[in-house]
Structure 1
Amino acid sequence: MTDSSTNLPMTTTRFDLTRNPFGKLVLTDASGQVHEGVSPVRAFPIQAPDEGIALVSNDGREVGWIDRLTDLSPPLRALVEDELAGHEFMPEISAILDVSSYATPCTWSVETDRGATRFVLRGEEDIRRITTTSLLISDSHGIHFLIRDMQSMDKLSRKILDRFL
């Protein structure tokens, strides 16, 4: 959200957030204006997931801003985190257990923060480097898997990754 007089970003953490009977988030801003059906959107979902969260109305306008989730009271924070969890699905890979082949397409067996799973990697181009140590992997269904720090993974996982990078 920007201040129209200075055209600079405005920090808006003074608001009330509730759920309506249909389960949609309702934001009441500091001026008392009510915005029904707002959605939280992370500005930096991988590098800073708990910082810079916009609250966006149904028509795509930013109606609120959260600098840090820790700035919110526990009930407001729980509402925002619950809503984010319902919109986002990006399992984090902790270990690569096996690959069917080093040629693509191939099936990867991995351990994630949501349990063990298998997915098909179509090609090496579906592995994108986010930082020097983090990767984003897209499977054949368009699901994104995050490797936050490949240097902290076990030796087998790093060896498999080296073959594809």
Structure 2
Amino acid sequence: MSDLFEITYIDPADTSFTRSAGGMLRMETDRELFPEITVRRTYPMTKPYEYLSVWTKDDKEIGIIRSIEEFDEESREELVTELKLRYIIPAVTRIDSIKEEPGLWTFQVKTDRGDLKLLMRNIHEHIQMIGVNRLIITDMEGKRCEIKDIESLDAASRKHLSKVI
């Protein structure tokens, strides 16, 4: 019986990532061309550019990239671009208000992508601390935003946030 959990690592020595004429990310090795692939983070918060899972358009895993730093410059740039497209998380620049109504919390925030309104029932299930000063906030509909550094927020935003964390 073969090991069902065997990990295939992608060898940076014989692999490159480029874009097709149509803009699709593709992977080429010494042995094979994958004309349309997707890249998924296995540790999105703690290791965003390490242990990336590469998949075919038919949803079959090709293998794992240990670190994008092992690849040539063009491949690294294409991988970073693909990950930014796939994992868009607006960064909070200001908190306008945090209100509690019976059974519902409402956050009104400004982000680098515009205004955002987040609704949550149990606030502590929707706020994830990443390290000391970083937060990921996910509302009931799955909308997410990130506070990259609480200390970089203005005083009014920090005051709003201090009431709930």
Answer whether TM exceeds 0.5 for this pair: yes
Structure 1 portions without partners, runs of 5+: none
Which residue is equivalent to 1:82? 81
Conservation of the 8 A alpha-carbon contact between 2:19 and 2:26 = yes
Which residue is equivalent to 2:90? 91
The CA deviation at 1:156 is: 2.2
Query: Could you say what secondary structure the match of 1:75 adopts?
Result: helix
Q: Are 2:127 and 1:120 aligned?
A: no
The Cα offsets for residues 70-107 of structure 1, whole Å up to 9 and x where unpaired, read as 443332222222222222221121321223x2335344
Which residue is equivalent to 2:164? 164
Structure 2 portions without partners, runs of 5+: none
The CA deviation at 1:153 is: 2.8
Residues 1:137 and 1:121: Cα distance change in structure 2 (over 3 Å): same
Alpha-carbon distance between aligned partners in 1 of 2:34 and 2:8, rounded to the nearest angstrom = 19
Which residue is equivalent to 1:48? 47
Q: Are 2:17 and 1:25 aligned?
A: no
Residues 1:109 and 1:126: Cα distance change in structure 2 (over 3 Å): same
Which residue is equivalent to 1:16? 16
Alpha-carbon distance between aligned partners in 1 of 2:129 and 2:157, rounded to the nearest angstrom = 16
The CA deviation at 1:131 is: 3.2
Range with greater deviation from structure 2 (18-27 or 137-146) = 18-27
For 2:162, give the aligned amino acid. D
Conservation of the 8 A alpha-carbon contact between 1:126 and 1:138 = yes
Alpha-carbon distance between aligned partners in 1 of 2:75 and 2:95, rounded to the nearest angstrom = 36
Query: Could you say what secondary structure the match of 2:35 adopts?
Result: strand
- Normalising by the residue count of structure 2, what TM-score does the alignment of the two structures yield? 0.75
4+ residue stretches of structure 1 with deviation over 6 A?
none
Alpha-carbon distance between aligned partners in 2 of 1:35 and 1:11, rounded to the nearest angstrom = 13
For 2:115, give the aligned amino acid. T
- Normalising by the residue count of structure 1, what TM-score does the alignment of the two structures yield? 0.75
The CA deviation at 1:37 is: 1.8
Q: Are 2:134 and 1:145 aligned?
A: no
Alpha-carbon distance between aligned partners in 2 of 1:18 and 1:138, rounded to the nearest angstrom = 33
CA RMSD, aligned part only?
2.7
Query: Could you say what secondary structure the match of 2:158 adopts?
Result: helix
Query: Could you say what secondary structure the match of 1:161 adopts?
Result: helix
Q: Identity over aligned residues, as a percent?
A: 22
The Cα offsets for residues 8-43 of structure 1, whole Å up to 9 and x where unpaired, read as 66352131223334432221224x222232111123
